[in-house]
């Protein structure tokens, strides 16, 4: 690769990064990963209350995103009434997607406080 090609490649890379950055900032509601719709929404949606707290919103009391390791531990080991999910059910890659998704939801909520990621009709409910 000569210098000119390298420069063009580097420019394209930087431009690409800028463009994706801009897209990430756009106010699009985060897209729910399939695995979350499949395994989590049935309990974590508006209108479902198991135990003392409404658990649909997956957000800490302070309004900050849940800690990544907390999400991972709850998913792998369960949490009171919440079942544990094995690697054969939720793969490591899918767990990464869940963590990223919940981060995005928390970020989106900063500007859209009423955003409800999982409507009561989602997640296997017959309509
Ligand atoms: C059978 C119902 C059920 C399913 C399915 C379920 N959960 Fe839960 N989850 C719960 C309950 C109940 C709690 C609250 C436990 C408590 O606080 O005692 C909870 C709590 C959590 C918390 C902590 C929330 C908080 O605000 O502290 C996280 C994170 C979580 N679940 C993630 C998941 C993910 C990710 C999935 C899908 C892979 C999932 N859950 C599937 C019932 C469920």
CA 89–ligand 1 middle distance (angstroms):
15
Picking from 68, 59, 71, 62, the residue whose alpha carbon sits closest to that of residue 114 is: 59
Summarize pLDDT for 103-113 with one digit per residue, the tens: 888 888 888 88
Picking from 47, 34, 39, 119, the residue whose alpha carbon sits closest to that of residue 83 is: 39
Average pLDDT over the chain reads: 77
* Separation of alpha carbons 75 and 79, rounded Å: 8
CA-CA-CA-CA torsion for 104, 108, 113, 119, nearest 10 degrees? Answer: -60
In the chain, % of residues over pLDDT 90: 28
Summarize pLDDT for 60-82 with one digit per residue, the tens: 666 677 889 999 999 999 988 88
CA-CA distances (angstroms) from residue 34 to 8, 37, 41, 69, 86?
Answer: 37, 5, 10, 21, 16
**Contact 42 CB / ligand 1 (< 6 Å):** yes
Number of Cβ within 10 Å of residue 45's Cβ equals 23
CA 87–ligand 1 middle distance (angstroms):
17
**Contact 46 CB / ligand 1 (< 6 Å):** no
Position 47 pLDDT exceeds 80 = no
CA 74–ligand 1 middle distance (angstroms):
7
Residue of 32, 35, 44 best suited for mutating to test ligand 1, as the one with most atoms within 8 Å of CB: 44
What's the CA angle centered on 91, arms 64 and 71, to 5 degrees?
20
Residue 109 CB contacts under 8 Å (≥ 6 apart), including other chains: 59, 63, 115
Of the pLDDT bands very low, low, confident and very high (cuts 50, 70, 90), residue 94 is very high
CA 33–ligand 1 middle distance (angstroms):
16
């Amino acid at each position: 690769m000569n210098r000119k090609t390298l420069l063009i490649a580097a420019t394209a890379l930087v431009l690409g990064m800028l463009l994706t950055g801009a897209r990430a900032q756009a106010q699009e509601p985060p897209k729910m990963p399939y695995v979350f719709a499949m395994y989590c929404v049935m309990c974590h949606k508006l209108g479902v209350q198991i135990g003392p707290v409404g658990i649909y919103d997956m957000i800490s009391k302070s309004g900050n995103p849940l800690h990544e390791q907390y999400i991972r531990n709850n998913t792998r080991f369960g949490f009171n009434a919440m079942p544990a999910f094995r690697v054969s059910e939720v793969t490591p890659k899918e767990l990464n997607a869940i963590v990223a998704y919940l981060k995005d939801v928390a970020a989106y909520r900063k500007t859209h406080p009423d955003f409800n990621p999982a409507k009561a009709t989602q997640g296997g409910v017959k309509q």
